[in-house]
A = this chain, B = another copy of it.
C-alpha cells in the first residue's frame, strides 16, 4: 500500500470513507476493552497461587537467623529475603533493604525524606528555592506525578534507542546544582520497552553532578521480566558501575515482586551504598518498627531462590509473549509501510510504545475511547501530562485476553489511520473535507 503522504486528496478521501464504515461497525459492537494499565492478567496471578499454601498453621515462622517473623523487629528485612532479592537485583545482600508492598511508595519516601531532612547531611530540599528533576520521555506517569506533587521543575530528556540522551543529561547535571535527581526505568523501559546500552549505563555512573545530593532513581522494575528465553536485554549493574567510577553513593536502585507474585501483595526493595542505606535507615527508625516479615518468608518459601524466580518468570513470559506478538503483528499488518506511525518491539517488560504522526495521539486515543477501547491517556507518558508533539501512546497488552487484544489493536490501527488522514488533509489545506471527516469519525 502507498504511504498516506503520497496519496492524492481524492485517494485519501476514498480511504477515509472506507475506514469510517469499519469504524461505525466497531462502534456498533459496543466493545469494552481496556489497554490502559500494566496489570498482570488473572492467568498470570494464578501462577503464584501456590504462595497461599507455603505457610500453614503448622509452619515454623522463624527465619534462618531464628527471629520470629510473626513478631515485631527486623527493620531492613529477613536474611533469606535479602539474599533472594539481592539475586534479583544483582547486588550484594548487604546493600539491600526490604520494604513493604510498593516500590513506588519507597521512591515517594526517598523524595519525601530528602525534602524534609536532606540527603546524607545536605540541606533539606524544602529549604531550597528550587529543585529540578530530569524526566526521560516518554516515561512512567507515576514517577512524574511524585516530582510534580513536590513542586519540582521537571525537565524532559528524550529517550533514544540507546536510552536517554546522555549528552543532555551530562550537560545539565554537571552545570546546575538545583537538579537533584533523574527518573530511570533502565530495562524494558516504561513505555518504550528498550533498555539502556552499556555506554549509557557507563556514562550514568560517570556523571559529575554539580549537586552532591544528586541521586539517580534507578527503577529496575522489569529486571527479570523477559519475554524470550534467548532474546534478552542485558543491563550493566549500576551500583557496581558507580562504585568502579568513584561515585558509589550516586544511585538508589528500586525493584519489587509486584509483577512477579501479586501486585500490591508483593515485597519491594531498595539497593544502595552502605552510606545511603545508613542515611535511609536513620529515617526508617522513626517511621516504622519493621515491614511484613511473614510475607517476606512466604515469598522465599515459594520461590526458594533465583532459579525459582527464573522458572516462574518463564511462565509469565509464556502468557505475555503471544499478546505482545499479536499487537506487533497487527500493527505491522495494518500500519506497515503507511508512514503514519512507528512502534517498539520489546524483548520484555509490560509495554509497547507507539508514536503517531505529530499532533495525532490525542485524537487516536479519543477515537478509540468512542469505539470502546480504553488506552492510557495521550500525554500521560510526559511530565504534567503534556506531550509537546502529541505523538506518544502507551499500549499495555498484559491484562486483556488474546482475542480482546486483537480486537482492540484492530480498532487502534483503524483510529490511527483515521486520525492520520484527518491530519494530512488538514495540513494539505483540504479543510472542509477534513472537518467533515473529523466530525464523521467523532459522531460515527
Contact indicator A292/B292 (Cβ below 8 Å): yes
Query: Contact: A146 with B286, CB < 8 Å?
Result: yes
Residues of B within 8 A of A71 (CB): 39-40, 42, 45, 262-264
A40-B71, A150-B116 known; A292 and B101 CB under 8 Å?
yes
Nearest CB of B to A254, in Å: 13
Which residue of B is nearest A104, CB measured?
Answer: B288
- Cα distance A351–B50 when bound, in Å? 40
Q: Is the beta-carbon distance between B265 and A69 smaller than 8 angstroms?
A: yes
- Whether the Cβ atoms of B286 and A264 lie closer than 8 Å is no
| CB contact under 8 A between A72 and B292, given known A112-B112, A116-B116, A149-B286 | no
Q: Let me know if A73 is at the binding interface, CB within 8 A.
A: yes
State which residues 273-290 of A face B: CB under 8 Å. Answer: 283, 285-290
Q: Which listed segment binds B: A55-63, A223-231, A307-315, A423-431?
A: A55-63
Report B-chain residues with C-beta under 8 Å of the C-beta of A146: 286-287
Residue of B at shortest CB range from A265? Answer: B294
Q: Which residues of chain B are within 8 angstroms of A116 by Cβ–Cβ distance? A: 112, 115-116, 126, 150
**Nearest CB to that of A101 among chain B residues?**
B292
Cβ of A370 within 8 Å of any chain B Cβ, yes or no, is: no
Chain B residues within 8 Å of A100, by CB: 100-101, 292
A384 to chain B, nearest CB (A): 14
Given the complex, which residues of B lie within 8 Å of A295, measured CB to CB?
265, 292, 295
CA distance A286 to B145 in the complex (A): 6
CA distance in complex: A49, B59 (Å):
9
Question: Which residue of chain B has the shortest Cβ distance to A290 in the bound complex?
Answer: B264
Please give the number of chain A residues whose Cβ is less than 8 angstroms from any Cβ of chain B in the complex. 57
Report how far A279 CA is from B142 CA in the complex, Å: 19
Q: Check: A70 CB closer than 8 A to any chain B CB.
A: yes
CA distance A53 to B52 in the complex (A): 8
Contact A264 B291 (CB under 8 A): yes
A263 to B291, CA, bound (A): 10
| Closest B residue to A48 using CB positions | B70
Complex Cα spacing A338 to B351, Å = 75
Q: Known interface pairs A100-B101, A146-B286, A286-B108. Does A45 touch B70 (Cβ–Cβ under 8 Å)?
A: yes
Q: A116-B115, A294-B265 are in contact. Are A72 and B286 (CB under 8 A)?
A: no
Query: Looking at the complex, which one of B40, B68, B150, B283 makes contact with A149 (CB distance below 8 Å)?
Result: B283
Q: A102 within 8 Å of B by Cβ?
A: yes
Q: Does A293 contact B (CB under 8 A)?
A: yes
Confirm or deny: A105 has a beta carbon within 8 angstroms of a beta carbon on chain B: yes
CB-based contact B263/A292 at 8 Å: no
Given contacts A265-B292, A292-B295, contact A68 B50 (CB under 8 A): no
Task: Report the separation of the CA atoms of residues A145 and B286 in the bound assembly, to the nearest whole angstrom.
Answer: 6
Taking CB as reference atom, which chain B residue is nearest A261?
B70
- Closest beta carbon of chain B to A381's beta carbon, Å: 17
| Residues in chain B near residue A49, CB distance under 8 A | 57
**A37 sits at the interface (CB 8 A):** yes
**Across the A-B interface, the 6 shortest Cβ-Cβ residue pairs:** A265-B294, A49-B57, A126-B126, A70-B262, A149-B286, A45-B70
| New contact pairs (10) apart from A48-B70, A53-B56, CB-CB < 8 Å | A42-B71, A52-B56, A53-B57, A70-B263, A72-B258, A108-B287, A108-B288, A112-B112, A146-B286, A149-B286
Where the two chains meet, the residues of A that have a C-beta atom closer than 8 Å to any C-beta of B are 37, 39-40, 42, 45, 48-50, 52-53, 55-57, 59, 61, 68-74, 100-102, 104-105, 108, 112, 115-117, 124, 126-127, 142, 145-146, 149-150, 258, 262-265, 283, 285-295
